[in-house]
Structure 1
Amino acid sequence: MRLSIRHDTTYDYADEVRGSIQYLRLTPQESARQRVLNWQLDLPHPVRAQRDPYGNVLHVLTMDQPHDSIVIGARGVVEIDEHSDGERDSGSPLPFLRSTRLTQADQALREFAILQCGERREREALIDLMHGLSEKMPYTPGITSVESTAAEAFAGGAGVCQDHTHAFLACARSLGVPARYVSGYLYSDDSEHLASHAWAEAWVDGLWYCFDITNGMSRPQRHLKLAIGLDYLDACPVRGMRRGGGSEQMHARVYVSPHALQTQQ
């Protein structure tokens, strides 16, 4: 399947910003299951690509001149192998056993992980964990924020894809299973608002497997991966800081659709 992506983010500030830095993980990588046919960023000025500690493609957009808005765009076409399942990775999975503030497992999460998996650590056990979390934490926008921890969202019994992923990571790592946060895009036939998405990957039998808790999916058939990390803060598509500006309004539009093959005349 070929997916066409258009992702536009606009920041408007009440007052003039004296300077800002935006860390952009908006460029997908080539892998065994996704082939980037074309991709480009639309930025206020050209920025050189680099790699972050997790191997993600990173662009650092620095705005030294005063400004009251920023427009960031990403667009392209990526071919997804719908039949690909687990992925290999040359890096060690061991760093993804570490917890962060957002993914620290409390007693309730540790007990829930044991309840779902017991002594099992195979892929089927983690699928049971995925479904258990989906039932325990129904998808509910507006209940949590980007600062909410896995423990807080789990205790509240609701959340969005970021919270589901953090809770899964907390549980998996408490069981001794390396697991990482994934940001990207999801194509869905019947929904537009799920286009920008997050899910988890866990290391089982030498491969990274997908666990999309929000949608109960254990195969990444329509998932386009942008970045990975220990949590949301490592992998979110756009993250920044600024001096001045007062209040901020952020508007994001994401469109994901099948890309029709062009036939030669």
Structure 2
Amino acid sequence: MRLSISHETCYRYEAQVRASIQYLRLTPHDSERQKILSWQLDLPRAVRAQIDPYGNILHVLTLDEPHESIVITARGQVEIDPSREAEHDDQSPLPFLRYTRLTEADEALRAFAAEHCAARRDRQALSGLMQALHQHMVYTPGATEVDTPAAQAFAGRTGVCQDHTHAFLACARSLGIAARYVSGYLCTQDSEHLSSHAWAEAWLDDAWYSFDVTNQLSVPERHLKVAVGLDYLDACPVRGMRRGGGFEQMHAKVLVEPAPPMGQTQHQ
């Protein structure tokens, strides 16, 4: 499947920002299941790419002069192999056994994981856990914040994709299974869900397998992976700090759609 992606993020401030820094994980890289055909990142100034500790492509945008807005645009085309269910990695999965503030498993999450997986540590058991979490936590935009811990969202029985993912990571790690947060894009016809998306990967049989709790998908045939980490804070598309500016407004426009095969063009 060939996907076309356009992602614009615009920040506007009520007063001038004296200085700001933005950490951008908006650039995917080639892997066993995705090939980057083209990709462009449009920023207020040129920024050199670097690799973060998790292997993500990172751009650090620093603006030292006063500004009242920032516009960041990422766009490109990617070929997805819908038949590949797992990806291999040379890096050790052991760091992804570690809890974070957002993925700490409390007694309720540990009990939930034990109830649905028992002594099993295989893909089928985690698929059942994924489905149980989906039923327990109703998709509810606005019910949580990006820094809501998994235990709090689980107790409230609501959340969005990052909450579903954090809860899955907490459960998997409580079972001794390495699991990581994935941010990226999903090609979907469901207008309720923003195409910018989050899901989990778990290390099973020496490979990473996907678990999209929000959509109950364990085969990432319509998913474009951009970044991974221990939780949302490691892998989110844009994360920054600023001095001054007062109230902030953020608007994001994301469009993910199938692109025509090579050699074909779309007709309006």
Q: Would the TM-score normalized by the shorter structure come out above 0.5?
A: yes
Counting only pairs closer than 5 Å after superposition, residues 166-185 of structure 1 correspond to structure 2 as: 166-185=166-185
Aligned to 1:241: 241
In structure 2, the gaps of 5 or more residues are none
For the Cα contact (< 8 Å) 1:192–1:255, is it kept in 2?
Answer: no
* Aligned match of 1:257: 257
CA distance, structure 2, for counterparts of residue 26 and residue 71 of structure 1: 13
**Who is 2:105 aligned against?**
105
Alpha-carbon separation, structure 2, partners of 1:213 and 1:192: 15
Q: Distance in 2 between matches of 1:131 and 1:74?
A: 32
1:70-110 CA distance string (max 9 Å, x none) = 00000000000000101100000000000000000000000
The alignment partner of 1:92 has SS state of coil
CA distance in 2, matches of 1:102, 1:114: 20
The alignment-based identity, stated in percent, is: 68
Q: Does 1:129 align with 2:145?
A: no
Q: Supply the AA of the counterpart residue of 2:139.
A: Y
1:7-48 superposed Cα distances (whole Å, 9 cap, x missing partner): 000000011000000000000010010000000101001100
In structure 2, distance between residues paired with 1:193 and 1:12:
24
Q: Which residue of 1 aligns with 2:149?
A: 149
Query: Residue 109 of structure 1 aligns to a residue in which SS?
Result: helix
Cα distance, 1:162 vs. partner?
0.3
C-alpha distance in structure 2 between counterparts of 1:83 and 1:228, whole Å? 21
Aligned residue in 2 for 1:11: 11
Instruction: Look up the match of 2:94.
Output: 94
In the alignment, is residue 23 of structure 1 matched against residue 32 of structure 2?
Answer: no
Change beyond 3 A, Cα 1:264–1:240: closer
CA distance in 2, matches of 1:192, 1:169: 24
Deviation at 1:190, TM superposition (A): 3.9
Q: Which amino acid aligns with 2:217?
A: M
- Name the residue aligned to 1:228: 228
- Partner letter of residue 235 of structure 2? A
Unaligned runs of 5+ in 1: none
SS in 1 for 2:87: coil
In 2, Cα distance between the equivalents of 1:133 and 1:7? 29
In structure 2, the CA distance between the partners of 1:163 and 1:264, relative to structure 1 (3 Å rule), is: closer
Task: Calculate the aligned-residue CA RMSD, in Å.
Answer: 1.1
| Partner-residue secondary structure (3-state), 2:139 | coil
Tell me the SS of whatever aligns to 1:103.
coil
Q: How many residues are aligned here?
A: 265
Distance 1:105 1:211 in 2: 18
Match of 1:75 in 2: 75
Question: Which residue of structure 2 aligns with residue 37 of structure 1?
Answer: 37
The secondary structure found in structure 2 opposite 1:218 is coil
Q: Distance in 2 between matches of 1:257 and 1:41?
A: 18
Residues in 1 aligned to 2:100 and 2:45: alpha-carbon distance in whole angstroms:
34
Is 1:214 paired with 2:214?
yes
In structure 1, C-alpha distance between the alignment counterparts of 2:171 and 2:214, rounded to whole Å: 16
Matches of 2:100 and 2:57, distance apart in 1: 22
Partners of 1:234 and 1:194 lie apart in 2 by 20
User: What's the offset of the Cα at 1:112?
Assistant: 0.2
* Contact kept in structure 2, 1:144 and 1:153, CA below 8 Å: yes
C-alpha distance in 1 between matches for 2:264 and 2:110: 57
Q: CA deviation at 1:194?
A: 2.9
Q: Aligned letter for 1:152?
A: Q
TM-score, with structure 1 as normaliser: 0.98
Distance in 1, matches of 2:125 and 2:264, equals 48
Secondary structure at the counterpart of residue 251 of structure 1: strand
How far did 1:260 drift?
1.0
